[in-house]
Chains A and B, each alone.
Chain A
Amino acid sequence: MNKKTLTLTLVLTMGTAVSAQGILGGHVTGNVQLDAQMSRADSTIGAEEVPERLLLNARADVLYQNGDFSAGLRFEMYQNPLLGFDPQYKGQGLAHYFVKYSGQRLTLTAGHFYEQFGSGMILRTYEDRYLGLDNALFGASLQYRPVDGITIKALAGRQRLYWDYGAGLVRGIDAEVAINSIIPALADSKLRATLGAGFVSKYEDDESLPAADPAFRLNLPLNVGAGAFRLNLGYGGWNLQAEYAHKGQDPSEMNHYIYRQGSALLLDLSYSQRGFSANLQAKRIDNMGFKSVRTQSGEMLFINYLPAITKNHTYAFLTMYPYATQVNGEQGLQGNVMYKFKKGTLLGGKYGTDLSLNSSVVTALDTTSLGGAGTDGYSVETFSRGGLLYGDVSVEVAKKLSKTVKLTATYAYQVFNPVVEGHSPDLYHNNVLIADLSWRINKKHSLRFEAEWMGSDSKYDPEQGHDDRRAGDWIMGLVEWNIGTHWFLSASDQYAYNDGTGNYYNLSVGYTRGATRAQLGYGKQREGLLCIGGVCRQVPASNGLTFSLTTSF
């Protein structure tokens, strides 16, 4: 569709839709987001000149609902894409649209849609605007519930690839059975069980791809299948989730065109009661990257999603070295315990104390090479482990000191293997201390102070090949001032005081009114990875103004 036509369609549709509320008997909702960035060259942080001066990402989602019927569309504009977003997004147009019927037993969708089977290890299409990731399927999906407790899904389509679609055709089917719902005798049982199974296949045309020996080409499987079984058991405060996935031969750019079959196992055992919860996760991935186009690199066109089992940290220094899931092979464990010391106890004090402990470790698989492209790739020693990729231990204590003051203190120890980001495999060992103090001055004003320190044995020394600008010892301070219900001011600075480089200051002011929020910022952004759920994008350094506006209706 012509881009101008699409723009016009959006404007007309939005205008019509908003004015149609109540007239057609339906309901229109939506949201708009705009992000702008101006950045100039700064050799001290490695920021490069932006020829366009101004970069702009914008999007508008509109959803119309009327009884069992709904329809939606999303307009996107990248003129040009913000730093860190793939330049192939450049452009504007209608990126997502669908119509949907949701009956009591049957749901039908045509157009763009997102879907997930189980934990996503064989299929998860989703969108993350902050990662610049959208692997929506464009096709049709069906969800059928023949009886209460049984859900069957079927779908087919091609995945979004920037402003086009990947060449691979994705087909899938999934069934989930809630045992307690279909067996009346178990309806009131304390033991709750859900079983599920899914199968996904992708089809791609043949093509000529060279084997390691240039006289030979790869004999490519045109249909690649992946199946998974899952189980969810619950009893009282206990819950167990288990899923095993298997993928057929899938030589691809990701796995360097080997024919080894893939597998993945995910276990999650948790227990919770009032004031206490614990959780243990285990994961093993072996050659489980699954894309709808075999030659596609990067994060686009993933059919599946392999969840991370490291803690999703939020503080700046704890996110400086995020862990990116290694789809070609990794294994790991994560444990998490949360306990609330009650009010009036020695450790609980007057207001109670929250304690959170977390630890995770991820290693590579212990592999032996069997060759390159056009071979089985490698063999794996099942009950052994390869090199350490990531490990961390963190302790967080949150305590209300008075009616108006709350302190959260965190200590974390991280071991990070930069080889996962393409750097030399010299482990970084980091100690991180964080104090986060919130002070509600009165009903209109509140302040938040954050102090962070990170000591690391990593060094920034480009002449010796150590070019990671995150390296070294860092300190950080942040002050946030919330003024009334509308305004806030924030100032922060991150400074590498030893063995590192960079002084990253940021100032921002924001205004919120109803569902609308605007924020203007100025400062420096360190280059690095932005990861969400183990999926990452590279963010280059920048120095300049940022502006964002979000609203919904």
Chain B
Amino acid sequence: MKKTIIALAAALAFAACDKISTDQYVLFAGSVAQWADGTPVATPVQRAHVDKYTGPKCSNCPTADVTLEAALATHGDRMTLIAVNHPSVQGLPYPNEPDLRTSHGTAWVQFYGITGIPAALLNRNTASTFSGSMPSISGAIADAIAQQPTLALEVEAAAEGSSVTIDVNMQFLADIAEPLTLTLALTEDSLAYKQLLPNASVNPTYVHNHMLRDVVTDTWGTPVEAQGRSGECRKATFRYAPSNPDIKLENCHIVALVSYKESRQIVNCAECHISH
């Protein structure tokens, strides 16, 4: 009996009280948007968005990278770019290297039927797909950004510790009757990992930029809470904390995409670096 009592006492004293450190009182519970009235967008321009499908074991992908980096140099902030690691064998990581594939990217690949890489999709319009060295993509981007915008967009992101506050502001420049969605993607630059080159050699420190690391919203975005009338301004604030500890927020950008809910084609886009 004495042993039983002592065992009970020990069990209670040592195992029955949890202590939580101050920085762990709360856990990230998923991004939550708080919508409110916004303000007119400072630079109401039409931008173009490109999803680049790539992989570390895709020998022609560096060639496409050169084309798209040149397009970025040409179009500046009128263009946004997300590099999506393809889920096929070419997208598999080399041994002891991180896996840059994401469930969100895989969903996009499956939806758009991207079977070979390199490939690119302009404004998520399946009529504007590009492959190989993509020589015509810069011209297509120029055509896209020359359009009169129906919705202007701007995004700001600031990191505080391990979490990020993201503010998205949009202004309707014309009536848009169709429901819209807002997708926020986290991309990371300066990821120096192995890449198969066109000459079949492997560059062990190839710098991967614009890599999709996570999607802050749902994969296909969160509904835009707006009437959709010309002149209307709406603003959404998100809180986000990446679950992957390897992500370096100082190298990350937020890409904001407003899309038609039904067709998933992009209405407009914007990008910002995460400030600290």
By a beta-carbon cutoff of 8 Å, the part of chain A in contact with chain B is: 106, 144, 146, 152, 154, 171-173, 199, 201, 203, 208, 210-211, 213-219, 221-225, 248-249, 259, 374-376
Contact in complex: B12, A211 (CB < 8 Å): no
Given B2, B13, B25, B29, which contacts A199 in the complex, CB threshold below 8 Å?
Answer: B13
Question: In whole Å, how far is A22's beta carbon from the nearest beta carbon of chain B?
Answer: 35
A173-B18 in contact given A152-B5, A215-B240, A219-B26 (Cβ < 8 Å): no
Contact in complex: B5, A201 (CB < 8 Å): no
Q: Interface majority SS on B: helix, strand, loop or mixed?
A: mixed
Question: In whole Å, how far is B159's beta carbon from the nearest beta carbon of chain A?
Answer: 14
Residues of B within 8 A of A172 (CB): 12
Contact in complex: B18, A215 (CB < 8 Å): no
Contact in complex: A259, B18 (CB < 8 Å): no
Contact in complex: B239, A216 (CB < 8 Å): yes
Jot down 20 A-B pairs with beta carbons below 8 A, ordered by A. Answer: A146-B1, A171-B16, A173-B5, A208-B29, A211-B26, A214-B29, A214-B34, A215-B29, A215-B32, A216-B26, A216-B239, A217-B26, A217-B29, A219-B25, A221-B18, A221-B19, A223-B17, A225-B17, A248-B18, A259-B22
Given A154, A208, A375, which contacts B25 in the complex, CB threshold below 8 Å?
Answer: A375
Contact in complex: B16, A259 (CB < 8 Å): no
Residues of B within 8 A of A146 (CB): 1-2
Contact in complex: B18, A223 (CB < 8 Å): yes
Residues of B within 8 A of A210 (CB): 29
A173-B9 in contact given A218-B25, A376-B22 (Cβ < 8 Å): yes
Question: In whole Å, how far is B275's beta carbon from the nearest beta carbon of chain A?
Answer: 19
Contact in complex: A214, B25 (CB < 8 Å): no
List B residues 109-157 near A (Cβ within 8 Å).
none
Residues of A within 8 A of B25 (CB): 211, 218-219, 259, 374-375
Contact in complex: B17, A219 (CB < 8 Å): no
Contact in complex: B12, A173 (CB < 8 Å): yes
* Bound-state Cα–Cα, A116 to B239, Å: 46
Contact in complex: A215, B16 (CB < 8 Å): no
* Bound-state Cα–Cα, A217 to B25, Å: 9
* Bound-state Cα–Cα, A201 to B12, Å: 7
* Bound-state Cα–Cα, A199 to B25, Å: 24
| Further contacts, 17 of them, CB under 8 A, given A173-B5, A173-B9, A210-B29 | A144-B1, A154-B8, A199-B9, A201-B17, A203-B16, A215-B32, A215-B239, A216-B27, A216-B29, A219-B20, A219-B25, A219-B26, A221-B19, A224-B17, A225-B16, A248-B18, A374-B25
Residues of B within 8 A of A152 (CB): 5
* Bound-state Cα–Cα, A248 to B239, Å: 30
Does residue B15 face the partner (Cβ distance < 8 Å to A)? yes
* Bound-state Cα–Cα, A217 to B30, Å: 9
* Bound-state Cα–Cα, A203 to B12, Å: 11
Given A201, A219, A224, A248, which contacts B27 in the complex, CB threshold below 8 Å?
Answer: A219
Nearest B residue to A105 via CB reads B1
Nearest B residue to A226 via CB reads B17
Residues of B within 8 A of A223 (CB): 15-18
Residues of B within 8 A of A218 (CB): 25-27
Question: In whole Å, how far is B21's beta carbon from the nearest beta carbon of chain A?
Answer: 9
8 tightest Cβ-Cβ pairs between the two chains A and B: A225-B17, A201-B16, A215-B239, A221-B18, A217-B29, A216-B26, A374-B26, A211-B26
Residues of B within 8 A of A221 (CB): 17-20
Among B9, B13, B16, B163, max chain A CB count under 10 A is at B16
Does residue B219 face the partner (Cβ distance < 8 Å to A)? no
Contact in complex: B5, A154 (CB < 8 Å): yes
* Bound-state Cα–Cα, A199 to B18, Å: 14
Question: In whole Å, how far is B147's beta carbon from the nearest beta carbon of chain A?
Answer: 35
- Size of interface on B: residues with Cβ below 8 Å to A: 28
Residues of A within 8 A of B238 (CB): 215
Does residue B67 face the partner (Cβ distance < 8 Å to A)? no
Does residue B31 face the partner (Cβ distance < 8 Å to A)? yes
Nearest B residue to A251 via CB reads B25
Question: In whole Å, how far is A312's beta carbon from the nearest beta carbon of chain B?
Answer: 34
* Bound-state Cα–Cα, A213 to B20, Å: 18
Contact in complex: A213, B12 (CB < 8 Å): no
Nearest A residue to B163 via CB reads A215
Residues of A within 8 A of B20 (CB): 219, 221, 249, 259
* Bound-state Cα–Cα, A173 to B15, Å: 13
Does residue B96 face the partner (Cβ distance < 8 Å to A)? no
* Bound-state Cα–Cα, A221 to B16, Å: 10
Question: In whole Å, how far is A150's beta carbon from the nearest beta carbon of chain B?
Answer: 11
Contact in complex: B26, A213 (CB < 8 Å): yes
Residues of A within 8 A of B163 (CB): 215
Question: In whole Å, how far is A164's beta carbon from the nearest beta carbon of chain B?
Answer: 24
Contact in complex: A214, B24 (CB < 8 Å): no
Nearest B residue to A217 via CB reads B29
* Bound-state Cα–Cα, A465 to B213, Å: 56
Contact in complex: B18, A224 (CB < 8 Å): yes
Question: In whole Å, how far is B49's beta carbon from the nearest beta carbon of chain A?
Answer: 26
Question: In whole Å, how far is A291's beta carbon from the nearest beta carbon of chain B?
Answer: 16
Residues of A within 8 A of B12 (CB): 171-173, 199, 201, 225
Question: In whole Å, how far is A437's beta carbon from the nearest beta carbon of chain B?
Answer: 56
Residues of B within 8 A of A374 (CB): 25-26
A106-B16 in contact given A215-B239, A376-B22 (Cβ < 8 Å): no
Residues of A within 8 A of B22 (CB): 259, 376
Residues of A within 8 A of B16 (CB): 171, 199, 201, 203, 223, 225
Question: In whole Å, how far is A196's beta carbon from the nearest beta carbon of chain B?
Answer: 14
Contact in complex: B5, A144 (CB < 8 Å): yes
Nearest B residue to A152 via CB reads B5
Residues of A within 8 A of B18 (CB): 221-224, 248-249
A248-B19 in contact given A199-B13, A215-B239, A219-B24 (Cβ < 8 Å): yes
Among B9, B15, B17, B32, max chain A CB count under 10 A is at B17
Residues of B within 8 A of A173 (CB): 5, 8-9, 12
Among B8, B15, B163, B239, max chain A CB count under 10 A is at B8
Given A171, A203, A214, A224, which contacts B32 in the complex, CB threshold below 8 Å?
Answer: A214
Among A199, A213, A215, max chain B CB count under 10 A is at A215
* Bound-state Cα–Cα, A146 to B2, Å: 8
* Bound-state Cα–Cα, A219 to B20, Å: 8
Residues of B within 8 A of A215 (CB): 28-32, 163, 238-240
Nearest A residue to B237 via CB reads A215
* Bound-state Cα–Cα, A218 to B26, Å: 4
Among A208, A216, A221, max chain B CB count under 10 A is at A216
* Bound-state Cα–Cα, A152 to B5, Å: 8
List B residues 77-124 near A (Cβ within 8 Å).
none
Residues of A within 8 A of B2 (CB): 146
Nearest B residue to A172 via CB reads B12
Residues of A within 8 A of B28 (CB): 215-217
* Bound-state Cα–Cα, A376 to B8, Å: 31
